[in-house]
Amino acid sequence: MNIGRDAESGWRDLRPTILGLIDSTGARNVLEVGGGRFPFLQLDEIRERGLELTVNDVVEAELKLAPDTFAKSCFDIAGNLPDDAELGSFDFIFSRMVFEHVKDARKAWSNIYHLLAPGGVGFAYVPTLWSPPFLFNRMTPEVLSAWVLKKIDPDRRAERVPKFPAYYDLCRANAKAVAPKLAEIGFREVVVTPFFGTPYFPVVPVLKHVARAFDRTVEALDARNFASYAYIIARK
Ligand SMILES: C[S@@+](CC[C@H](N)C(=O)[O-])C[C@H]1O[C@@H](n2cnc3c(N)ncnc32)[C@H](O)[C@@H]1O
């Protein structure tokens, strides 16, 4: 599958990429980490593949807002795994826009490694450093960055799409910054696909053009340290 390198492609191709990985690896037992109130897979996608899906989140209230059509499991992916966690049982573990909120990404990836069956695949879709809007988000006090985001995107409020504090630990589109850390945990293969540009800045006209020019330049140069999103894929 050919995936574009712009941020829109990252969003658009996420579903075919996740389903493609599930299908091509023959995964049956699947865990979504941080699925919250909007779990990613749809009922027909789960049923037609005969998947055993578990949706995780660290916030019980978020999980309660999710449909009751699959198993739910409330725990911190970067904490100590629950006593009843079935180690080595999942074929595919994925997350969308979750790992940037995790303070200790090494611990989170290590838990994923332990939860995966041998040969199983972990997948994280993350916003990445040193993309300027995410660098701004990381450097700015939460109250201020939440206020700015609400100005840019009025949907970003607690009742609709809440904003969670972000740390961006190991959220990098440059494989050199990620692969050695995942290899230390034990992952055999790591692939990082970068995406360039973000939908942020649209309300600030001058900044919008500067940001677009910056994104086009870093994409043309394939300067992955300044990419904005990545698919991080690791096989146990
Ligand atoms: C930005 S939301 C994304 C929700 C969903 N994945 C989506 O794409 O719509 C981040 C989610 O990750 C959850 N989360 C944050 N830290 C977590 C952790 N350490 N373990 C599990 N879930 C976590 C939050 O509670 C929240 O539901």
Examine the pLDDT at 157 and tell me if it is beyond 90.
no
The CA distance from 11 to 5, in Å, is 11
Examine the pLDDT at 192 and tell me if it is beyond 90.
yes
Cβ 77 under 6 angstroms from ligand 1: yes
CATH number of the domain within which 120 lies: 3.40.50.150
Q: Span 230-235, mean pLDDT?
A: 98
The CA distance from 45 to 171, in Å, is 28
| Percentage, residues of the chain above pLDDT 70 | 92
Residue 172's φ and ψ, nearest 5 degrees, are: -135, 145
DSSP string, 75-103: --TTSPPPTT--TT-EEEEEEES-GGG-S
What spacing in Å lies between the alpha carbon of 109 and ligand 1's midpoint? 15
The residue nearest atom 1 of ligand 1, judged by CA position, is: 97
**Does some domain include residue 144?**
yes
Look at residues 82, 57, 55 and name the one whose alpha carbon lies nearest to residue 68: 55
The CA distance from 82 to 224, in Å, is 36
Domains held by the chain: number: 1
**Does some domain include residue 231?**
yes
**Does some domain include residue 14?**
yes
> Which residues touch 181 (CB under 8 Å, ≥6 apart)?
106, 109, 170
**Does some domain include residue 1?**
no
**Does some domain include residue 2?**
no
Cβ 39 under 6 angstroms from ligand 1: no
Band the pLDDT of 156: cuts 50, 70, 90: low
Q: pLDDT tens digits for 97-114?
A: 999 999 999 999 999 999
What spacing in Å lies between the alpha carbon of 36 and ligand 1's midpoint? 6
Q: pLDDT tens digits for 198-225?
A: 877 666 778 888 888 999 999 999 999 9
**Does some domain include residue 221?**
yes
Band the pLDDT of 160: cuts 50, 70, 90: low
Q: pLDDT tens digits for 128-150?
A: 999 998 998 888 877 777 777 67
The CA distance from 211 to 99, in Å, is 24
pLDDT attached to residue 162: 59
Cβ 62 under 6 angstroms from ligand 1: yes
Q: Rg of the chain over CA atoms, in angstroms?
A: 18
Contacts 24+ apart (CB under 8 A), 82-89: 85/115, 86/115, 87/114, 87/115, 88/114, 88/115, 88/116, 88/117, 88/118, 89/29, 89/115, 89/117
**Does some domain include residue 77?**
yes
Examine the pLDDT at 80 and tell me if it is beyond 70.
yes
Q: Span 82-89, mean pLDDT?
A: 95
What spacing in Å lies between the alpha carbon of 52 and ligand 1's midpoint? 20
What spacing in Å lies between the alpha carbon of 24 and ligand 1's midpoint? 26
Examine the pLDDT at 161 and tell me if it is beyond 80.
no
State the residue range of the domain holding 120: 7-235
Question: Which atom in ligand 1 lies closest to the alpha carbon of residue 38?
Answer: 9
C-alpha 228: how far from its chain's center? Answer: 12
Whether omega for the bond prior to residue 130 falls within 30 degrees of 0, making it cis, is: yes
Residue with tokens 């994409």: 219
Q: pLDDT tens digits for 60-75?
A: 999 999 999 999 999 9
**Does some domain include residue 182?**
yes
